[in-house]
Structure formats: C-alpha cells, structure tokens
C-alpha cells in the first residue's frame, strides 16, 4: 500500500473513531448474506472500500482510541461503521484478541453488534472478567424454521444458544415472522438467559428486499399482536421491549407528539413536513391546526413510515407551490457536526435547490426527544395494554395517507 493510500485509509479510521466506532474491516462484503440485511443497498450513504484490518492497522486504531479520554457515558461501537460497509466483525479472525486487548488496556466500554459468531466460552469469560463494560447486542433474528431462509450462512441455533448461556449478551433481538415465531423464541431465550433484554418486533421491508423475505416480514407484522399477547401472558422475568414499528411507537407517544406540536405554535396555514406515522397522529388529534405535508419515505421505500428516516430528496419530491415550509430538526441530525440527512445530503445544498422556499427548522422536534420517547414507551406491556387493548388504535390505523 502506498503512503498516500495508507493516509487515505487512516483518515477514514480517524473519522470513524471520532464517532466512537472501532473501525475493523473484513475487507469484503458480509459473508453471512442475510436476506433481510439493510446493508444490501447502502447507496443512501457514502462508504469507502477498506482492506482486511491488519495488525499494523489495529495498532494505529488502538493508539488513536487510547488517546481519547474516557467518558463514563460513552461506549465504543464494534459493528456499525459509518464510512465503511457493515459486516459482522465477529468474523474477523483477530476480533476476539483485539476486544480483549481493548478491555485490558483501557477503561472504556464496548458495544458489540453481531449475529453471534464469537467463541461462546471466551466472550462469556470476558464479560465475567470485565463486568458492565461489554454491551453485546446479539441479533438472534429467529431460531425457528425460517432461520435457514433468512440467514443461510448464519451461525447454528446451537451456537447462538451457547453464546446466550452466560453473562455476555445484554440484549437479544428477534422478530415476528408468523405464528409461533417470536413467542417461541422469547420462551427459549428466557429459559437459558433471564437477564438479557428481549428486543422484539417486526422487520420492515425496504425497497431492495427480495419478494419472499418481504412476504415473510409482512406475515410477521400481521401476527405481531398474537405473538406479543402470548409473550405478555408468559410473564417472563426478562425486560421486554418492542420497538420496530414506527406507527406503534408514534401512537404510544401520541401525547408527547401532540404536546411538542402545540409548543411549536404553528399557524393554520403553515406547512409542516412529516412522514406517515406522525401524519396519522396529527390528522387524528390536531386536524386543521396546520397544513400537514405528508412525505413518504421514498429513499428507503418498502413499508417504511418514519419521520426520523426522511431524507431531503423525499421532501423535495413533495414540494409544489409552498413558500414557507417547517422541517423537523430530526431529519437533519445524521451527524452532530453539521446538518445532514441519513443519506449524507446537507441542508445547505437542499436549500439551494429551492431558492424561492423559506425553510424553518422545528428545533423542538429533535432526535434527543424521539430517542428518549422510544425507550420510555417501548415496552411490550405498553404495546399490549395501550395499543392492542385501546380501541383508539383501530381508528389510528384506519387514517389514510394522502396521495
Ligand atoms: S450479519 Fe449483519 S451485516 Fe452481515 S449480512 Fe447479516 S445483517 Fe447484514
């Protein structure tokens, strides 16, 4: 590698490190080949090809990380790079050694995302040795008959259960794909691990997901109420959260959404941008209080329906003759340094596209608010008691989106 190439690579590392990522690379696309992988099309963000991380690269990365002071609230992420393609980094042959070195020589915390290819004994031993410093989010996805179809090269159920059998996994995520899927998995996982958080819901089909997988995801959504009720009745000791449906999240947080909307003090004629989830809430509870500019999540496509994930391109497609448009800040918070959407497009560039429109930012509608709320009302219990058992939710579901 020439010095110039190396400097380019190290600059990518530096950018990741600035965002508190541990930028390991497998040097190729992810070999696990999950059919639901949201990384299949990452054209929405700019990524750079990086070679398999070598010992020399690691030494550079680790030195940089060590030079950054530890903050109690901070956790370094392994498995969610921003400028490099996502892959399952547990598959890097040195991943385990480097995680151990990280834990051994720093006092920092680490968050690991993986489908579970770690050596079960070793990762659980590390969790025992460094209590409270590993936050391991295990993507179980499903343990039942659909596993083969969805994760043809994923780890075996036996491997996943062995990883779960110990203190390392802090949360296990798995989803509804039909009858006896999510509920059965919840039971089996809780049997072996009563401490880990159970993170459940559905996977949302996006535009590049194949037809069979999309069908399965939609089937899962149809059975989510039944599956959730079964789990509710099981009274499992684990903390149980349900997060992945933006409509449900919006409904459960309707009071906060309405309160925030009221606090923005908009006039009846003001245009305000929102995706389907918030559109339903405001149409139902604040009709006519402003003009709701419904914007479909075209960039992600599929069944996505979430204001947080809107892009400027999505908004651009819906602008007609508006003179002033209010935009929620949440759509331009990809990075903390400048105003960009999830695709990386900047607010300034977007504004230049519409010189005759004045854009006003609703700073009260920000991701600090949406993230906090997501967690507060994200329990399976909330979903069953305040959504499924609430007749208002049926009315909410029937609110149609404009064309
Ligand atoms: S392991 Fe993760 S990154 Fe790899 S294909 Fe599966 S979902 Fe995608």
The CATH number linked to 81 is: 3.80.30.10
Does 288 lie in the same domain as 152? no
- Average pLDDT taken over every residue of the chain: 93
Query: Which pLDDT value is given to residue 40?
Result: 73
Are 234 and 266 part of one and the same domain? no
* Mean per-residue pLDDT, 277-304: 93
What is the reported pLDDT for 336? 64
The mean per-residue pLDDT over the stretch 52-61 comes to: 96
Q: What are phi and psi of 136, to 5 degrees?
A: -105, 110
Arithmetic mean of pLDDT, 44-54: 85
Task: State the distance from the centre of ligand 1 to the C-alpha of 126, rounded, in angstroms.
Answer: 24
pLDDT band at 283 (very low <50, low <70, confident <90, very high): very high
**pLDDT computed for residue 335 by the predictor:** 67
Residue 23 CA to residue 174 CA, distance in Å, equals 26
Band (pLDDT 50/70/90 cuts) for residue 90 is very high
Instruction: Give SS3 for 328.
Output: strand
Strand partners, 135: 111
- Tell whether 385 is covered by a domain: no
pLDDT for position 42: 65
- The residue among 210, 271, 248, 166 whose CA lies nearest residue 35 is 210
Provide mean pLDDT across the span 49-72. 95
Task: Report if residue 400 sits inside a domain.
Answer: no
Domain-embedded: residue 152: yes
SS3 sequence of 187-213: HHHHHHCCCCEEEECCCCCCCCCCHHH
According to DSSP, residue 332 is labeled G
Question: Rounded to an integer, what distance in angstroms lies between the CA atom of residue 234 and that of residue 368?
Answer: 33
Same domain membership, residue 235 and residue 91: yes
Higher pLDDT, 44 or 354: 354
Closest-lying ligand 1 atom to the alpha carbon of residue 113 = 2
In angstroms, rounded to a whole number, what is the distance separating the alpha carbons of residues 329 and 198?
A: 31
Q: Is 37 in the pocket of ligand 1 (CB under 6 A)?
A: yes
Residues 199 and 294 reside in one and the same domain: no
Asked if residue 86 has its Cβ within 6 Å of ligand 1, the reply is yes
DSSP annotation of 271 = E
Helix ranges (H only) for 264-366 are 276-285, 312-318, 347-353
Write the Ramachandran bin of 150: left for phi over 0, alpha for psi from -120 to 50, otherwise beta.
alpha
Residue count (the chain): 403
| Model pTM score | 0.89
N-term to C-term CA, the chain:
53
Q: pLDDT band at residue 83, thresholds of 50, 70 and 90? A: confident
Ligand 1 pocket check: which of 29, 31, 34 to mutate, most ligand atoms within 8 Å of Cβ? 34
- What stretch of H or E contains 242? strand 240-242
> Ligand 1 in contact with 39 (CB < 6 A)?
yes
Mean pLDDT value of segment 266-280? 95
Q: Answer whether residue 44 shows pLDDT above 70.
A: no
Cα 210 → chain centroid: 20
Residues 101 and 240 in one domain: yes
DSSP class of 143: -
pLDDT, mean of residues 70-90: 90
Instruction: Give pLDDT, residue 43.
Output: 66
Ligand 1, from 31, 85, 86, 173: best to mutate by most atoms within 8 Å of Cβ?
86
For ligand 1, whether the C-beta of 150 sits within 6 Å is no
Q: Is residue 1 pLDDT above 90, yes or no? A: no
pLDDT of residue 144: 96
Query: Exposure of 348 by Cβ count < 10 A (0-12 exposed, 13-18 middle, 19+ buried)?
Result: exposed
Cβ neighbours of residue 174 closer than 8 Å, sequence gap 6 or more: 140, 141, 142, 143, 182, 185, 186, 189, 198, 199, 200
The pLDDT tens digits for 201-255 are: 999 998 889 999 999 999 999 999 999 999 999 999 999 999 878 899 999 999 9
CA–centroid distance, residue 38 to ligand 1 (Å): 8
Residue with tokens 């690269």: 57
> Where is average pLDDT lowest: 135-139, 296-300, 381-385, 386-390?
296-300
Nearest CA to ligand 1 atom 8: 37
194 CB near ligand 1 (under 6 Å): no
Same domain, 228 and 255: no
Determine if ligand 1 sits within 6 Å of the CB of residue 42: no
Whether residues 265 and 214 share a domain: the answer is no
Q: How many domains does the chain have?
A: 2
Host domain of residue 265: 249-369
Identity of the highest mean pLDDT range in 166-170, 202-206, 397-401: 166-170
Measured from the Cβ of residue 258, the count of other Cβ atoms closer than 10 Å reads 16
* Bridge pairing between strands 75-78 and 240-242: unpaired
Of 1-10, 220-229, 364-373, the range with the lowest mean pLDDT is: 364-373
Which residue's alpha carbon is nearest to atom 6 within ligand 1? Answer: 34
> Are residues 98 and 231 both part of a single domain?
yes
Q: Output the CA 306–ligand 1 centroid distance in Å.
A: 22
Q: How confident is the model at residue 13 (pLDDT cuts 50, 70, 90)?
A: very high
Nearest CA to 391 out of 288, 251, 245, 240 is that of 251
Task: Tell me the Ramachandran region of residue 265: left when phi exceeds 0, alpha when psi lies from -120 to 50, beta otherwise.
Answer: left
> Which of 245, 274, 292 lies at the terminal end of a domain, its last residue?
245
Let me know: does 170 contact 134? Beta carbons within 8 Å: yes
């Amino acid at each position: 590698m020439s010095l110039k190439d190396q400097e380019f690579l190290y600059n990518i590392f530096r950018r990741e490190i600035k965002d508190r990522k541990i930028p390991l690379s497998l040097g190729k696309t992810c070999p696990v080949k999950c059919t639901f992988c949201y990384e299949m099309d990452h054209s929405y963000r700019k990524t750079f090809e990086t070679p398999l991380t070598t010992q020399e690269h690691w030494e550079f990365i680790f030195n940089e990380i060590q030079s950054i002071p530890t903050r109690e609230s901070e956790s370094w992420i392994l498995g969610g790079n921003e400028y490099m393609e996502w892959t399952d980094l547990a598959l890097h042959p040195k991943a385990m050694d480097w995680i151990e070195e990280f834990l051994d020589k720093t006092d920092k915390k680490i968050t690991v995302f993986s489908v579970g290819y770690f050596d079960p004994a070793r990762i659980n031993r590390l969790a025992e040795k460094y209590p409270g410093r590993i936050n391991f989010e295990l993507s179980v996805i499903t343990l039942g008959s659909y596993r083969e179809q969805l994760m043809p090269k994923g780890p075996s159920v036996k491997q996943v259960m062995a990883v779960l059998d110990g203190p390392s996994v802090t949360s296990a995520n798995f989803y509804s794909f039909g009858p006896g899927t999510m509920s059965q998995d919840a039971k089996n996982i809780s049997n072996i691990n009563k401490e880990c958080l159970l993170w459940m819901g559905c996977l949302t089909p996006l535009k590049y997901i194949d037809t069979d997988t999309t069908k399965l995801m939609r089937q899962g959504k149809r059975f989510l109420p039944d599956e959730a009720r079964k789990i509710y009745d099981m009274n499992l000791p684990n903390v149980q959260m349900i997060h992945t449906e933006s409509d449900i999240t919006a409904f459960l947080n309707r009071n906060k959404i309405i309160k925030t909307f009221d606090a923005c003090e908009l006039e009846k004629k003001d245009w305000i941008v929102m995706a389907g989830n918030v559109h339903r809430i405001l149409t139902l509870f604040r009709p006519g209080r402003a003009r709701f500019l419904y914007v479909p999540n075209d960039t992600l496509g599929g069944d996505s329906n979430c204001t947080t994930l809107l892009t400027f391109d999505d908004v651009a497609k819906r602008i007609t003759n508006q003179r002033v448009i209010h935009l929620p800040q949440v759509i331009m918070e990809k990075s903390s340094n400048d105003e960009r959407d999830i695709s990386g497009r900047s607010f300034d560039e977007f504004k230049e596209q519409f010189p005759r429109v004045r854009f006003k930012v609703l700073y009260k509608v920000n991701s600090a608010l949406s993230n906090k709320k997501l967690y507060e009302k994200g329990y399976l219990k909330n979903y069953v008691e305040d959504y499924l058992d609430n007749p208002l939710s049926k009315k909410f579901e029937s609110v149609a989106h404009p064309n």
